[in-house]
């Protein structure tokens, strides 16, 4: 797979899965816009690692829930890196609690970040992709958006929403040569899952037929494939990366 000459924007690329996607796609030749929300230092570390590989990269602060910040981020990517060919909507958060304890703030922030954020960034990026008649959009959902989980009604709703959204725009954008796909990670070892108790982690491990947690690189490898020309006849698909958790 070769991504030479491609420009990739990844939301939430300072850490975890986004960071692994940035490094993998840079390794394959792409230039990377590394978006982050608050963690400037971590985002700049990712940029420095990419530059060490001899590839172009920049860190861009933008909150995916704020429309003008999103529009500026897309403009800056195109101005600084020269184009925008591949978008990975990866930024995401959790605010887990059972429904009766879930307040509106917990609900809104998760839906705003995980679903409205995908809408805002996709809309801003696709205006450009439509004009150039080429683009790849890869959205990160979750096994929880498919199989659900007690204590994650807000997160499950947001991640199920990402799937419906992605299939709809895959149909809208196919005539414009823009492919839209979703990856559905299971349990991946990142900061997001680090706050689970050892008991919760052990319970999850029992549900994974491959008997190991996923690594960010397991997701990045599939995202890179969906970003490459090798996947040009794939659109509107949901690809599970979960060690067999959901069959
Ligand atoms: N880990 C898993 O097991 C798992 C499983 C299924 C799906 N996923 C999904 O995969 C994606 C990445 O997860 P992860 O585990 O890598 O998470 P993570 O390690 O917690 O990293 C989250 C990233 O999102 C960024 N972010 C958060 N809110 C943002 C906002 N409003 N605007 C812009 N960026 C924002 C963070 O930026 P800062 O560093 O600046 O805070 C960070 O780069 C998420 O969508 C998550 O739901 C994860």
Indicate which CATH number applies to the domain containing 19: 3.40.50.720
Q: Reply yes or no on whether the pLDDT at 195 is more than 90.
A: no
Dist CA 70 CA 92 (whole Å): 15
Q: For residue 42, which atom of ligand 1 is closest to its CA?
A: 39
Find the domain containing 134 and state its range.
7-239
Identify whether 214 is part of a domain: yes
The alpha carbon of 203 and the centre of ligand 1 are apart by a number of angstroms equal to 22
Which residue, by CA, sits nearest to atom 42 of ligand 1?
A: 12
Average pLDDT over residues 120-131: 98
Q: How would residue 246 be classed by pLDDT, with cut points 50, 70 and 90?
A: very high
Q: Reply yes or no on whether the pLDDT at 186 is more than 90.
A: yes
The alpha carbon of 223 and the centre of ligand 1 are apart by a number of angstroms equal to 15
Nearest-10 Cα torsion for 212, 208, 160, 39: -20
**Most ligand 1 atoms within 8 A of CB, residue of 33, 37, 166 to mutate:** 37
Which residue, by CA, sits nearest to atom 32 of ligand 1?
A: 63
Identify whether 172 is part of a domain: yes
Identify whether 246 is part of a domain: no
Question: How many domains does the structure of the chain reveal?
Answer: 1
Average pLDDT over residues 47-70: 98
Q: Where would I find the H helices in the chain? A: 16-27, 40-52, 67-81, 104-111, 117-132, 144-147, 153-173, 191-194, 198-206, 216-227
Q: What angle do CA 55, 114, 129 make, to 5 degrees?
A: 50
With a Cβ cut-off of 6 Å, ligand 1 is lined by 11-12, 14-18, 35-39, 42, 63-65, 90-93, 113, 140, 142, 185, 187-188, 190-193
Identify whether 53 is part of a domain: yes
Identify whether 106 is part of a domain: yes
Dist CA 48 CA 183 (whole Å): 27
Identify whether 90 is part of a domain: yes
Identify whether 244 is part of a domain: no
Dist CA 222 CA 36 (whole Å): 22
The alpha carbon of 199 and the centre of ligand 1 are apart by a number of angstroms equal to 23
pLDDT attached to residue 19: 98
Average pLDDT over residues 120-132: 98
Identify whether 245 is part of a domain: no
Mean model confidence pLDDT for the chain: 97
The percentage of residues in the chain with a pLDDT greater than 90, rounded to a whole number, is 98
Burial class (CB in 10 A: 0-12, 13-18, 19+), 200: exposed
Q: Reply yes or no on whether the pLDDT at 123 is more than 90.
A: yes
């Amino acid at each position: 797979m070769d991504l030479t000459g491609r420009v990739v924007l990844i939301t939430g690329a300072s850490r975890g899965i986004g960071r692994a996607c940035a490094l993998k796609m840079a390794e394959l030749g792409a230039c990377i816009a590394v978006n982050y929300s608050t963690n400037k230092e971590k985002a700049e570390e990712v940029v420095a690692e990419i530059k060490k590989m001899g590839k172009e990269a920049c860190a861009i602060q933008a909150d995916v829930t704020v429309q003008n910040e999103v529009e500026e981020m897309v403009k800056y990517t195109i101005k600084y890196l020269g184009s925008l060919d591949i978008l990975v909507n990866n930024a995401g958060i959790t605010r887990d609690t059972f429904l009766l304890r879930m307040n509106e703030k917990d609900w809104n922030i998760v839906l705003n970040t995980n679903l409205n954020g995908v809408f805002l960034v996709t809309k801003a990026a696709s205006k450009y992709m439509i004009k150039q008649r080429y683009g790849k959009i890869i959205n990160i959902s979750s096994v929880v958006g498919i199989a659900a989980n007690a204590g994650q009604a807000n997160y499950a709703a947001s991640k199920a929403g990402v799937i419906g959204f992605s299939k709809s725009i895959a149909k809208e954008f196919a005539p414009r040569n823009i492919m839209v796909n979703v990856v559905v990670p299971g349990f991946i070892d990142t900061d997001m899952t680090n706050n689970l108790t050892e008991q919760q982690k052990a319970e999850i491990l029992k549900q994974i037929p491959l008997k190991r947690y996923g690594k960010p690189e397991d997701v990045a490898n599939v995202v890179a494939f969906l970003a490459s020309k090798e996947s040009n006849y794939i659109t509107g698909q949901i690809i599970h990366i979960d060690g067999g958790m959901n069959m």
